[in-house]
Amino acid sequence: MSGKLAAGILFSCVAVMLTSHASAGISFSFINVADSTGGLSGFGNGNSAINAGGTVAFYANRDAGGAAIFVRSTGVVTTSVADASTGFSNFGTSPVVNVGGDVAFLGDTTSGASGIYKTAGGAIVTIGDTTTEDGRFSAFTNSPSINSAGVVAFGARWTSTTLASGLFNGIYRGSGGALTAVADASNGFNNVSSVPTLTDDGLCVFGGRTTTNLRGIFAAGASGFITMADTSGPFSAFGSVPAVNQNGQAAFEATLDSGATGIFVGDGTSTRTIADTDGPFASFVDTAGPSINSAGLVTFIASLDSGETGLFDGPDPVADRIIATSDTLFGSTVVALSAGRSALNDSGDFTFRYTLANGVSGIALTHVPEPAALAPLSWASCAFGGRRRRRRDVG
Q: Which helix (H) or strand (E) holds 328?
A: strand 328-329
Phi/psi for 221 (5° steps) reads -135, -170
> Distance of alpha carbon 330 from its chain centroid, rounded?
24
What span, in angstroms and rounded, lies between the C-alpha atoms of 187 and 121?
A: 34
Residue 33 to residues 38, 40, 72, 354, 358, Cα–Cα distance (Å) = 11, 12, 7, 11, 18
Domain boundaries defined on the chain: 33-39+128-392
Q: How many residues does the chain have?
A: 395
Secondary structure of residue 176 in the 3-state scheme: coil
Give the C-alpha separation, 317 to 299, whole Å. Answer: 12
Rg of the chain (C-alpha set) = 20
d(CA 258, CA 238): 14
Q: How far apart are CA 248 and CA 267, in angstroms?
A: 6
- Please name the residues in contact with 320: beta carbons below 8 A apart, sequence gap of 6 or more: 23, 24, 275, 312, 313, 314, 371
Instruction: Tell me the pLDDT of the chain (395 aa) as tens digits.
Output: 333 333 334 434 434 433 334 455 577 999 999 999 989 988 988 999 999 999 999 999 999 999 999 999 876 567 899 999 999 999 999 999 999 999 999 999 999 999 999 999 889 999 999 999 999 999 999 999 999 999 999 999 999 999 998 899 999 999 999 999 999 999 999 999 889 999 999 999 999 999 999 999 999 998 899 999 999 999 999 999 999 999 999 999 999 999 999 999 999 999 999 999 998 999 998 778 899 999 999 999 999 999 999 999 999 999 999 999 999 999 999 999 999 999 999 999 999 999 999 999 999 999 998 765 554 444 333 344 333 333 333 33
Q: Return the SS3 of 217.
A: strand
CATH topology of domain 33-39+128-392: Methylamine Dehydrogenase; Chain H (2.130.10)
Q: In whole angstroms, what separates CA 106 from the centre of its chain?
A: 14
Could you check whether the bond before residue 376 is cis, i.e. omega within 30 degrees of 0?
A: yes
